[in-house]
């Protein structure tokens, strides 16, 4: 007999509204993300600005609400002035985060143009590694002030009469990491973040600001860093960042698919620290979380390109398996489970660098396995998250106990009268029979049951075989007396879509 699991989907069990920005992404001046990814003037599909239309098309399909830019580690040595003004006059510079040569052909204005084409907002990051409050407030003035000041008039002279009005800004990147250009102690960073935030807001009071949390929960300073930084900057910031990457380099799939339990714990812990500082300060303000770097990163730790000062060398071009896509699905479900706290998140990164989308210079674009759970969550995971009331058989893995074979969540989109259930069957060899009780809805119709699966857990999509792992809509879900009954294949990502006919 197949394993049995059940869940209750009740419209009164509202956790919170999903902030669509949890489906954000990230493009850094790293590897071929910018040059060869979104921008390649000599590519046959390039538009008049040099942007690859083929890449834009598959990015638009994702409906990415926000993209973090320009870094990442890159931002901590970046002088944004190098990337504005006539492209022919821009200087090539040594880029010290990744030991490459930065041509500066793409900078703030080009990225703003591209983001418009991609239909996304920009989450800007300022350099708090080699620079500080002065350059940050100049950049805000350049980007967001309408006119009548030195920096805003400079932007106008560069051909951008209308301000970009970027709202969301990161106060540096991973400032706790020894690898970071200009890394800082928590006290140094907390003070700097506070003062920088203050003057940035004086230039533009509409800003929404993100302070750096730890680079990962594995940092020796984790938790102390968060508490100290917030102690020094709580009133000036709106979000605290979390970064987390996972890999299966030990080749233990049961354990790897349970890594979302670590993400879950990480989110809960950081939320508790925020609330501790809130209590200490007798503050009324709730701080939200920005999981602005997360993904599977199997090539992590392989360091920089061996030959220094290349222009846009191929770096961190991980090829993702079905198993990686299932892990990504579990991470997305985990974020949805924390929809009341995680209000922004960026899959790191979007194209060519640990990314769901790959390109070849001068060649085609193709979609990795991880593209699909990301696409489904972004398209169908908007609305209200309903508390997951789930029963599932469990297993123990090397690092985790009581791992449910079923990882699932439901989202109710009242405006469109739709319910979506996202579900991963973590079992590597057994199907899982899922009963979904829809007791609070009078009449519901099954729209489709999408499934991402493959006989081989290690199956990938490549340039030559781009459609080896793609979703189908032949899932087994069916309606039966107000319940959905679905048999979830072993190691599968499932999206069960329902229309509410009568509440």
Catalytic residue numbers read 174, 293
User: Toward ligand AHR, which CB reaches closer, 243 or 426?
Assistant: 243
Residues 12-31 contacting ligand AHR, CB under 6 A: 28, 30
Angle at 391 between CA 15 and CA 325, to 5 degrees: 75
Q: Which of 127, 152, 173, 369 binds ligand AHR (CB under 6 A)?
A: 173
Q: What DSSP letter does each residue of 394-428 carry, written as one string?
A: EE--SS-SSEESEEEEEEEETTTTEEEEEEEE--S
Residue number with the smallest Cβ distance to ligand AHR: 72
Assigned token pair, 122: 């920009």
Residue 369 in contact with ligand AHR, rule: CB under 6 A: no
Residue 174 in contact with ligand AHR, rule: CB under 6 A: yes
Residue 204 in contact with ligand AHR, rule: CB under 6 A: no
User: Toward ligand AHR, which CB reaches closer, 217 or 349?
Assistant: 349
User: Toward ligand AHR, which CB reaches closer, 19 or 174?
Assistant: 174
Given the structure tokens 């048999």, which residue do they identify? 487
Among 226, 218, 338, which residue's Cα sits nearest to residue 275?
226
Q: Whole-angstrom Cα distance, residue 356 to residue 470?
A: 13
In which element (H, E) is residue 449 found? Answer: strand 443-452
Q: Whole-angstrom Cα distance, residue 475 to residue 297?
A: 29
Among 264, 246, 350, 257, which residue's Cα sits nearest to residue 301?
246
User: Toward ligand AHR, which CB reaches closer, 72 or 388?
Assistant: 72
In which element (H, E) is residue 444 found? Answer: strand 443-452
Shortest distance, CB of residue 89 to ligand AHR, whole angstroms? 28
Among 233, 184, 227, 188, which residue's Cα sits nearest to residue 210?
233
User: Toward ligand AHR, which CB reaches closer, 95 or 204?
Assistant: 95
User: Toward ligand AHR, which CB reaches closer, 70 or 163?
Assistant: 70
Residues 211-230 contacting ligand AHR, CB under 6 A: 215
In which element (H, E) is residue 4 found? Answer: strand 3-8
Residue 71 in contact with ligand AHR, rule: CB under 6 A: yes
Residue 73 in contact with ligand AHR, rule: CB under 6 A: yes
Q: What DSSP designation does 18 have?
A: P
Residue 292 in contact with ligand AHR, rule: CB under 6 A: no
Q: Cα–Cα distances in Å, from 248 out to 146, 267, 332, 404? A: 49, 21, 18, 19
Given the structure tokens 């880029």, which residue do they identify? 95
Shortest distance, CB of residue 129 to ligand AHR, whole angstroms? 11
How many residues bind to ligand AHR according to rule CB under 6 A?
Answer: 11
Considering only CA atoms, give the Rg of the chain.
23
Q: Whole-angstrom Cα distance, residue 468 to residue 447?
A: 25
Q: Where are the beta strands (DSSP E) in 152-296?
A: 168-171, 208-211, 239-246, 288-296
Among 259, 295, 349, 266, which residue's Cα sits nearest to residue 68?
349
Q: Which of 194, 248, 290, 349 binds ligand AHR (CB under 6 A)?
A: 349
User: Toward ligand AHR, which CB reaches closer, 38 or 424?
Assistant: 38
Residues 78-97 contacting ligand AHR, CB under 6 A: none
Stretch that binds ligand AHR, among 47-55, 68-76, 106-114, 376-384 (CB under 6 A): 68-76
Residue 248 in contact with ligand AHR, rule: CB under 6 A: no
Q: Are 494 and 425 in contact (CB under 8 A)?
A: yes
Q: Are 401 and 259 in contact (CB under 8 A)?
A: no
Residue 348 in contact with ligand AHR, rule: CB under 6 A: yes
Assigned token pair, 129: 């590694």
Stretch that binds ligand AHR, among 65-73, 102-110, 228-236, 425-433 (CB under 6 A): 65-73
Q: Whole-angstrom Cα distance, residue 285 to residue 220?
A: 28
Q: What DSSP letter does each residue of 40-53 carry, written as one string?
A: -TTSTTB-TTSBBH
Shortest distance, CB of residue 354 to ligand AHR, whole angstroms? 6
Residue 102 in contact with ligand AHR, rule: CB under 6 A: no
Assigned token pair, 367: 């979609």
User: Toward ligand AHR, which CB reaches closer, 241 or 460?
Assistant: 241
User: Toward ligand AHR, which CB reaches closer, 229 or 348?
Assistant: 348
Among 457, 502, 494, which residue's Cα sits nearest to residue 474?
494
Stretch that binds ligand AHR, among 69-77, 280-288, 338-346, 381-389 (CB under 6 A): 69-77
* Mask for 126-165, x = binds ligand AHR (CB under 6 A): ----------------------------------------
Q: Which of 72, 83, 329, 381 binds ligand AHR (CB under 6 A)?
A: 72
User: Toward ligand AHR, which CB reaches closer, 30 or 58?
Assistant: 30
Q: What DSSP designation does 28 have?
A: -
Stretch that binds ligand AHR, among 71-79, 233-241, 282-290, 378-386 (CB under 6 A): 71-79
Stretch that binds ligand AHR, among 70-78, 88-96, 131-139, 203-211 (CB under 6 A): 70-78
Q: Which of 293, 318, 323, 453 binds ligand AHR (CB under 6 A)?
A: 293
Which residues are near ligand AHR by CB under 6 A? 28, 30, 71-73, 173-174, 215, 293, 348-349
């Amino acid at each position: 007999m197949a394993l049995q699991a059940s869940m209750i989907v009740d419209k009164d069990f509202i956790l919170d509204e999903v902030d669509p920005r949890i489906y954000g992404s990230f493009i850094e001046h790293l590897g071929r993300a910018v040059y060869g990814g979104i921008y390649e003037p000599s590519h046959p599909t390039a538009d008049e600005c040099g942007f690859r239309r083929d890449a834009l098309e598959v990015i638009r399909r994702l409906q990415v609400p926000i993209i973090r830019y320009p870094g990442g580690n890159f931002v901590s040595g970046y002088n944004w002035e190098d990337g504005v003004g006539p492209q022919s006059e821009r200087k090539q510079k040594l880029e010290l985060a990744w030991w490459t040569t930065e041509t500066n052909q793409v900078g703030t204005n080009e990225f703003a143009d591209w983001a418009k084409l991609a239909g996304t907002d920009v989450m800007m990051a300022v350099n708090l590694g080699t620079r500080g409050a002065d350059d940050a407030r100049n950049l805000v003035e350049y980007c967001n002030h309408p006119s009548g000041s030195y920096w805003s008039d400079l932007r106008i002279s560069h051909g951008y009469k209308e301000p970009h009005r970027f709202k969301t800004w990161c106060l540096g990147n991973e400032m706790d990491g020894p690898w970071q250009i200009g890394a800082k102690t928590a006290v140094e960073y907390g003070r700097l973040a506070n003062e920088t935030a203050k003057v940035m807001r004086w230039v533009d009071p509409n800003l929404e600001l993100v302070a750096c949390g730890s680079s990962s929960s594995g940092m020796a300073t984790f938790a102390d860093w968060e508490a100290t930084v917030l102690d020094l900057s709580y009133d000036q910031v709106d979000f605290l960042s979390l970064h987390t990457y996972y890999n299966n380099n030990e080749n233990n799939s049961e354990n790897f698919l349970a890594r979302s339990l670590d993400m879950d714990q990480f989110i809960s812990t950081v939320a508790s620290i925020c609330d501790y500082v809130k209590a200490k300060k007798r503050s009324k303000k709730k701080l939200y979380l920005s999981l602005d770097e997360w993904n599977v990163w199997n090539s992590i730790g392989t360091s920089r390109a061996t030959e220094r000062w290349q222009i846009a060398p191929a770096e961190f071009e991980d090829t993702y398996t079905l198993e990686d896509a299932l892990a990504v699905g579990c991470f997305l479900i985990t974020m949805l489970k924390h929809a009341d706290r995680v209000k922004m998140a960026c899959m790191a990164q979007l194209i060519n660098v640990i990314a769901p989308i790959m390109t070849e210079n001068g060649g085609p674009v193709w979609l990795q396995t991880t593209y699909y759970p990301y696409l489904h969550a972004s398209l169908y995971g908007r609305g209200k998250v309903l508390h997951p009331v789930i029963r599932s058989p469990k297993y123990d893995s090397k690092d985790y106990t009581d791992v449910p074979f079923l990882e699932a969540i439901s989202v109710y989109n009242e405006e469109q009268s739709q319910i979506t259930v996202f579900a991963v069957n973590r079992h590597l060899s057994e199907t899982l029979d899922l009963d979904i009780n829809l007791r609070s809805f009078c009449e519901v119709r099954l729209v489709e049951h999408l499934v991402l699966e493959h006989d081989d857990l290690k199956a990938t999509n490549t340039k030559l075989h781009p459609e080896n792992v793609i979703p189908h809509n032949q899932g087994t879900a069916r309606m039966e007396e107000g319940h959905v009954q679905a048999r979830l294949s072993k190691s599968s990502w499932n999206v069960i879509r329902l229309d509410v006919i009568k509440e």
